[in-house]
Amino acid sequence: MHTTRRNFLKKATVTGAAILAAPAIFGSVADRKHQKATDATTPFKLKYAPGFGMFREHAGKELADNIKFCHDMGFRAMFDNGLMSRPVEDQVKIANEMQRLGMELGPFVLYADFAVTSFVLNKPETREMLVNKMKEGVEVAKRTGAKWALVVPGRYDEKLHRDFQTANVIDNLRYCCDVMEPAGLTIVLEPLNTLINHPGLFLNGIPQAYSICRAVNRPVCKIVDDVYHQQITEGDLIPNIEAAWSEIAAFHLGDNPGRNEPTTGEINFKNVFKYIYNKQYQGVLCMEHGMSIKGKEGEARVIQAYRECDSFEI
């Protein structure tokens, strides 16, 4: 790392820590009286994972600088939906820096085509396409050390009974698992809401994803629970997490309404995080959301929001 970059990163880290530690800016009196200046850099209790570029105002565009800044702010994981499309040298750069700092890489998007029917079809050419996609994902995982690959089964078929579609999804996932299992790479299925963001998709709820994972019955086929989507589709977040716990391998985060950082909507993230922590969860929680405030202040507010929600008693 060049000297100028080191100086920039050091300045950005100190600035971020100073903003986050300033009790006059963020947090209620009740929250602040228990805080210390070191709270801004102490590791979080759970592996909340910012995406690359989330803190660009503080960390700039350089991949390694983003990772270092997040580590300095207490994060011990990151995620990158676009990992597969990055140049190989960038994938290796991310892997090396994450390994150096002892951080974990959350699920990357392996297959998520919202425009076509795919997994719901019983067609040899579709199955071949999906298997080849899985092989591409395995190569990315080998370079980056990623453990989870996100899959969205695509659209439902309006001309085929839903039960037949479910059977086809199960069969196609088993073929995909044949590729993933020897490589130690886990598929995480993401149910998405069809009411606001993604009309027409086949997989739209945790109970549905749970039943499919149980039917596939392979250790490398699990669920990523996106609490933003699940608050819209079925709510009752903690009971549904409990019911599906054996099949959940990762989480996505975002408050509702608005899909911004925790504390901006109706979800009680402090209670959700406490529940997940008490389940001894060791995986990643991807911060797949926007910011309620623009610029540097907004970035600082995101980190402070996670500090507030991570302050549950243990």
Measured at the CA of 265, the angle between CA 261 and CA 271, to 5 degrees, comes to 80
In the set 190, 261, 299, 308, the catalytic residue is 190
145: left (phi over 0), alpha (psi -120 to 50) or beta: left
Report CA Rg, the chain: 20
Pairing state between β 104-105 and 47-49: unpaired
In the set 97, 104, 288, 299, the catalytic residue is 288
How large is the angle between the packed helices 63-72 and 88-101, nearest 10 degrees?
A: 20
Long-range contacts of 53-59 (CB under 8 A, 24+ apart): 54/287, 54/299, 54/302, 55/16, 55/299, 55/302, 55/303, 57/295, 57/296, 57/299, 58/12, 58/13, 58/15, 58/16, 58/296, 58/299, 58/300, 59/9, 59/12
Active-site residue 288, yes or no?
A: yes
Active-site residue 247, yes or no?
A: no
* Catalytic sites, residue numbers: 190, 288
